[in-house]
Amino acid sequence: MAVPTLTPSSTSSKVALPITGTAENVNATINPLPFGVYMGMPNEYQAFASGASDQVGYVYKKLGGDVLDVELTQYSVYASYEEAVLEYSYLVNIHQAKNSLNNLMGASTASFNEDGQIVKDDLLSGSYVESALPRYTFDYARRVAEGISAQAGVGGNLTYYTGSFEPTNLQAEYDLQQVVSSSVNDGSLILDDGDTVGNNKITVRKVYYKSPRAMWRFFAYYGGLNVVGNMSTYGQYSDDSTFEVIPTWQNKLQAIMYEDSINTRISQYSYEIQNNKLRLYPPPSNFSMPDKFYFRFTVKRDSWKEYTDRKNGAQGVNNLNSLPFENIRYSRINSIGKQWIRRFALALSKEMLGQIRGKLGGIIPIPGGSVTLNASDLLGQAKSEQEALRTELKTILDELTYEKLLTKDANMTKAATDVLSKVPVPVFVG
């Protein structure tokens, strides 16, 4: 396309950046901000608008507006300033995510609007957790440990249920899945809210039965009657108040011999389970079988489901995206952050000015000649400055992670101990 010949009525640009901005124009309806994130916050609007308007004067001076026109509007600078604040918020929130994600796994998350702000009716609305210091809870490690402990049978978040069945004479096989299903259906076994059997396969953890113990003969339903000292026949039916004064070691020996007698004379059972079908060895008989066999089992829980009886965090924070972090409030950004924002916004304004000046190839014809603009220089400087500022902030934040701070505390403590160890101990005489 041919370059048009311009015949301006004056030597000044039609569009020129004013020497200062106006806070009232920051949220102008005729030329609004691209996102207007901070315009919708009643407590943040005034401070943000003041900072954005001051940025106009800063850009005007830095780009030589006192000497040559700067082909930007004040609204262009406001947009650059908003982008700089959001970029700062993004980098700081990334840093905080590195610090706390492992301790926030499973914690409450939120719903966000198009600006990345928590919707007003959300439970976390107004909490500003991105500015909070979370406690170390090691939630991720604990969730891993819960899964391991549940399988090992020493903890976890699974409920251990107990079922039972009455053995049948000489019947070796019993369907434990059917036993549980029948118990649930007839209401004799109540499961926790959210736990269901149905077609879900139960996991049998232990099979056992109650056998007599020697100490029952001393202090429970059976008492010794004149034969407590008899190693083979002691323990006749009697009341619980019959005792014989004998050494404690003799009682212990009697208990051991009695339990050994049970294991020798009465068949002990072993078992195997295949597809939740129990096979007993040997088959129970009316001569020696217990009244009931018991078994402990668990019901598989859906890993994606949140249960109403106890929250497990399945629908909570699980990665960077679900952290309930909003854009950092402008009023919570200190002087360090605001200076970074000013510099980054200036680099963005340079980039915008370079784009404008480069639209016609950087050459504008004027009466009697042409003017070559510094579009390429501005674009190069802008990109370089933006990258340098991002690197600077990331480097500082990486040195200030909680892990690094803890290491510094350890080093300072060690150094202080080394110094104090060389301080002479005073000797008091008195």
Residues 193-252 pLDDT 10s: 778 887 788 999 989 887 655 554 554 444 444 444 444 444 444 444 445 566 777 777
Tell me if 141 is assigned to some domain.
Answer: no
Contacts of 219 (CB under 8 A, 6+ apart): 240
N-terminal to C-terminal alpha carbon distance within the chain: 102
Say how many C-beta atoms besides its own lie within 10 A of residue 170's C-beta.
11
| CA 301 – CA 146 distance, rounded (Å) | 13
Contact 278, 176 (CB under 8 A): yes
Contact 316, 108 (CB under 8 A): yes
176 and 295 in a single domain? The answer is: yes
Query: In terms of residue numbers, what domain contains 170?
Result: 157-299
**179: exposed, middle or buried (C-beta count within 10 Å: 0-12, 13-18, 19+)?**
buried
Q: What pLDDT sits at residue 209?
A: 85
200 and 82 in a single domain? The answer is: no
Reduce the DSSP state of residue 248 to 3 states and report it.
helix
188 and 280 in a single domain? The answer is: yes
274 and 370 in a single domain? The answer is: no
Contact 82, 27 (CB under 8 A): no
Which of 268, 299, 330 is the C-terminal boundary of a domain? 299
109 and 167 in a single domain? The answer is: no
Contact 36, 78 (CB under 8 A): no
164 and 272 in a single domain? The answer is: yes
DSSP string, 350-365: HHHHHHHHTTTTTEEE
117 and 164 in a single domain? The answer is: no
Tell me if 256 is assigned to some domain.
Answer: yes
Helices 335-357 + 375-398 axis angle, to 10: 160
Tell me if 46 is assigned to some domain.
Answer: yes
**Where is 178: in which H helix or E strand?**
helix 176-185
| CA 322 – CA 105 distance, rounded (Å) | 10
Tell me if 137 is assigned to some domain.
Answer: no
| CA 212 – CA 291 distance, rounded (Å) | 12
168 and 265 in a single domain? The answer is: yes
Tell me if 291 is assigned to some domain.
Answer: yes
Contacts of 163 (CB under 8 A, 6+ apart): 176, 179, 180, 183, 189, 294, 295, 296, 297
Q: What pLDDT sits at residue 263?
A: 61
| CA 46 – CA 368 distance, rounded (Å) | 48
177 and 252 in a single domain? The answer is: yes
> Structural domain tally of the chain?
2
β-bridge mates for residue 299, sequence order: 202
Which of 243, 270, 299 is the C-terminal boundary of a domain? 299
Tell me if 304 is assigned to some domain.
Answer: no
pTM of the model: 0.73
Contact 203, 318 (CB under 8 A): no
215 and 339 in a single domain? The answer is: no
| CA 358 – CA 355 distance, rounded (Å) | 5
Chain-centre distance for alpha carbon 274:
39
Q: Which amino acid is at 276?
A: N
User: Which residues of the chain fall short of a pLDDT of 50?
Assistant: 6-11, 216, 219-242
Q: What pLDDT sits at residue 80?
A: 97
Tell me if 148 is assigned to some domain.
Answer: no
Task: Spell out the SS3 assignment of 136-175.
Answer: CCCHHHHHHHHHHHHHHCCCCCCCCEEEEECCCCCCCEEE
Number of H helices and number of E strands within the chain?
9, 8
| CA 116 – CA 137 distance, rounded (Å) | 27
| CA 43 – CA 285 distance, rounded (Å) | 81
42: preceding bond cis by omega (within 30 degrees):
no
Angle made by CA atoms 182, 186, 191, in degrees to the nearest 5: 80
Contact 138, 357 (CB under 8 A): no
Q: What is the pLDDT of residues 92-113, one digit of tens each?
A: 999 999 999 999 988 899 999 9
Question: Given the structure tokens 């950046």, which residue do they identify?
Answer: 17
Alpha carbon separation from 263 to 171, 202, 219, 260 (Å, rounded): 21, 31, 21, 5
Tell me if 100 is assigned to some domain.
Answer: yes
Q: What pLDDT sits at residue 234?
A: 46
295 and 324 in a single domain? The answer is: no
274 and 342 in a single domain? The answer is: no
